[in-house]
Amino acid sequence: MRRQRVSSKAIASVGFDGATNILEVEYRSGAVYRYFQVPRSEVDGLLSADSMGRYVNTRIKPRYSYVCIQAS
């Protein structure tokens, strides 16, 4: 999945596949996670959040299943 670099202390890049609603997040630590069945509105919220790390921890992780595809 193609990811775009973002300006965040915790997150290096973010990718989204609208056909499958998979969100991919690469953390600055090097870890990469895939989050499943994430609506586009959540991705938009993430990209416009003051703190992307906090947004993932409070809005994405508790609500959507995920898997680590690359450990840090």
pLDDT in tens, 11-59: 999 999 999 999 999 999 999 999 999 999 999 999 999 999 999 999 9
pLDDT, residue 1, reads 85
Q: Which two tokens stand for residue 26?
A: 């690469």
pLDDT band at 4 (very low <50, low <70, confident <90, very high): very high
Q: Name the strands in the sheet holding 11-17, side by side, starting at the edge strand that comes first in the sequence.
A: 4-5, 11-17, 22-27, 32-35, 66-70
Domain count, the chain: 1
pLDDT, residue 41, reads 97
Q: Scan for tokens 């990811």, then name that residue.
A: 3
| Nearby residues of 10 by Cβ (< 8 Å), 6 or more positions away | 27, 28, 52, 53, 56
pLDDT, residue 42, reads 98
Q: Scan for tokens 């993932």, then name that residue.
A: 56
pLDDT over 90 at 72, yes or no? no
Provide the residue range defining the domain that includes 53. Answer: 4-70
